[in-house]
Amino acid sequence: MDRKILYVIGIGPGSPEVMTGEAAAALRESDLIVGYPLYLSLLGPEYDEKEKLSTGMTAEVERCQMALSEADKGRTVSLICSGDPGVYGMAGLVLSLKEGYPGVKVSIIPGVTAATAGAALLGAPLMHDFAVISLSDRLTPWEKIEKSLRAAAEADLVIVIYNPESKGRAGYLKRACDILLDILPPERAAGTAERIGREGEKAWTGTLAELSERQADMFTTVYIGNSTTLIRDGRMITDRGYGS
Amino acid sequence: MDRKILYVIGIGPGSPEVMTGEAAAALRESDLIVGYPLYLSLLGPEYDEKEKLSTGMTAEVERCQMALSEADKGRTVSLICSGDPGVYGMAGLVLSLKEGYPGVKVSIIPGVTAATAGAALLGAPLMHDFAVISLSDRLTPWEKIEKSLRAAAEADLVIVIYNPESKGRAGYLKRACDILLDILPPERAAGTAERIGREGEKAWTGTLAELSERQADMFTTVYIGNSTTLIRDGRMITDRGYGS
């Protein structure tokens, strides 16, 4: 029996109820759970007795190596990511590093990503075509990020922004909004979802001009509507084309 | 106590294990489950005893009205969508029609959308910025779809295509690929995920040129990589920027 299994798991945006049954089953089956400390703490008491290993936020390569190497010892290991492991998560890195561990079977288990969890909190902003863009320039040149923002706005796509700001990247959301305001009207509908499913969960809706004056952090997901998006009773709704 | 509750639920791509705990709890609590017959059949035996109501695939307005009107009678109702209810689902329409039912509380419950479930099946194509585009021109002019495809390709976004073809829209995937081939090289990595989590689940990876010769249906999700995406051991992996 092949016991060298590494599950790369999306635990969803925060609260344990938004995890899938498949993710919960993989965690229960695991000998070891590897992850960033905050995400380990979000798992809830059910997994308190499990052995856990963690690394710092930016130590992604070490974290993936650690998980692969522990699985290679014959253990069943789960590497957890917030949201979905395939959206700015660890799935790609694990698959790239897997070459060094030919005996390990990697299984990617999807989760609810912040784009759709935040959309549910705000209303229904993603009813039409959309682009998901990260403002983090730690691994991507800012020029490329700017090009993506412009292209999405010019094509009238709804825009979802991940990682809008962090301590080291203050003012990035304003920078992005200023680029979008070159193309889009200031009254364009916008919204933010903060700490989705966690303590301090908060939804805000308003205009793109107002958004450009707001602050955000790594736990905020930002939405800019397309030309049909409206704010109604505080909810952000993009028309699917039913003409409603 | 307010009993007039309408849950708009994403059941995930297919298999009941990919449903979240929150979605399962809402279904258990419901007096009535409303949905398209195929999605009702995907729920699994746990909900066999629940009262169910269904309408045809294109009868979205009727389905939402029916769900709102049943909730307005004081019942707890679940309206189910495949994937996530906020991604080309019923969430927007329900919120738009809600005005006629001021006493009904609508709660949107997110699910795992096909973009991320299919990505997990294929590897990790969505590790960088991406656009989600539907090829259905039932509610959107084709010119707008074409503009979105071109903008995404020009900005080097990974592209996820929903609803690539249907019986009435044969050849649409080829049409989309031909547009992309104006901008992208024929060897660009591509993949498809069919019937994710259901009987007949199938993953395919290859090139954009090969993709343009393939057929798809409403149960296929299509991926076109960005300039860093590779196919390795049959898996589609987009570089997050770790240089791996």
Q: What is the pTM of this model?
A: 0.96
Average pLDDT rounded to a whole number, residues A223-239: 96
Q: Per the structure block, which two tokens stand in for A132?
A: 């998901």
Of residues B15 and B149, the one with the higher pLDDT is: B149
Question: Given 3-state DSSP classes, what are the helix, strand and coil percentages for chain A, each rounded to the nearest 5?
Answer: 35, 25, 40
Substitution target from B148, B150, B224 for chain A, most A beta carbons within 10 A: B148
pLDDT for A57:
65
Average pLDDT rounded to a whole number, residues B172-201: 97
Beta strands in B96-213 (DSSP E): 105-109, 123-124, 130-134, 158-162, 189-194, 202-207
Q: CA B21, B65, B134, A221: dihedral to nearest 10 degrees? A: -50
**Of the candidates B211, B236, B2, B243, the residue with the CA atom closest to the CA atom of residue B124:** B236
pLDDT in tens, A158-201: 999 999 999 999 999 999 999 999 999 999 999 999 999 899 99
CA distance A204 to B97: 22
pLDDT for A1:
52
Which A residues in the span 165-194 are in contact with B, Cβ-Cβ below 8 Å?
Answer: none
Question: Can you tell me which residue has the tokens 């994710």?
Answer: B196
Question: Can you tell me which residue has the tokens 């040149």?
Answer: A141
Please name the residue of chain B whose CA is at the shortest distance from the CA of residue A146.
B155
B196, B121 contact by CB (below 8 A): yes
pLDDT for B147:
97
**Of the candidates B222, B87, B179, B180, the residue with the CA atom closest to the CA atom of residue A130:** B87
A81: β partners: A10
pLDDT in tens, A14-44: 889 999 999 999 999 999 999 999 899 999 8
CA distance A9 to A15: 15
Cβ contacts of A25 on chain B, cutoff 8 Å: 17
pLDDT in tens, A75-123: 999 999 999 999 999 999 999 999 999 999 999 999 999 999 999 999 9
Out of A97, A117, A239, whose CB is closest to B244? A97
> Which amino acid type is present at position B134?
S
A52: β partners: A33
Position A244 confidence tier, pLDDT thresholds 50, 70, 90: very low
CA distance B43 to chain A (A): 13
CB proximity B65 to A under 8 Å: no
Out of A87, A93, A127, whose CB is closest to B88? A127
Contact B241 A17 (CB under 8 A): no
Say if residue B169's pLDDT is above 80: yes
Cβ contacts of B127 on chain A, cutoff 8 Å: 86-89, 91-92
pLDDT for B2:
62
CB contacts < 8 A, A to B, total 233
B205, B235 contact by CB (below 8 A): yes
Position B244 confidence tier, pLDDT thresholds 50, 70, 90: very low
CA distance A85 to B127: 9
CB proximity B235 to A under 8 Å: yes
Other Cβ atoms closer than 10 A to B56: 10
SS (H, E, C) A187-225: CCEEEEEECCCCCCCEEEEEEHHHHCCCCCCCCEEEEEC
Average pLDDT rounded to a whole number, residues B55-78: 90
Cβ contacts of B15 on chain A, cutoff 8 Å: 22
CA distance B73 to B98: 14
Say if residue B1's pLDDT is above 60: no
Out of A19, A108, A120, whose CB is closest to B120? A108
Contact A22 B17 (CB under 8 A): yes
Q: Per the structure block, which two tokens stand in for A18?
A: 């938004």
pLDDT in tens, B215-224: 999 999 999 9
pLDDT for B242:
72
Average pLDDT rounded to a whole number, residues B79-92: 96
Q: Per the structure block, which two tokens stand in for A53?
A: 């290993």
Which B residues in the span 201-220 are in contact with A, Cβ-Cβ below 8 Å?
Answer: none
pLDDT for B91:
97
Which B residues in the span 75-134 are in contact with A, Cβ-Cβ below 8 Å?
Answer: 84-89, 91-97, 108-113, 116-117, 119-121, 123-134
Cβ contacts of B88 on chain A, cutoff 8 Å: 127-128, 240
Out of B25, B116, B132, whose CB is closest to A110? B116
Which class for A223: exposed (0-12), middle (13-18), buried (19 or more C-beta within 10 A)? buried
Cβ contacts of B129 on chain A, cutoff 8 Å: 131-134, 145, 148
Please name the residue of chain B whose CA is at the shortest distance from the CA of residue A89.
B127
B7, B91 contact by CB (below 8 A): no
Helix (H) or strand (E) holding B29: helix B21-29
Contact B131 A128 (CB under 8 A): no
Q: What is the mean pLDDT of chain A?
A: 94
Cβ contacts of B134 on chain A, cutoff 8 Å: 128-129
CA distance B91 to B36: 15
Q: ipTM of the assembly?
A: 0.96
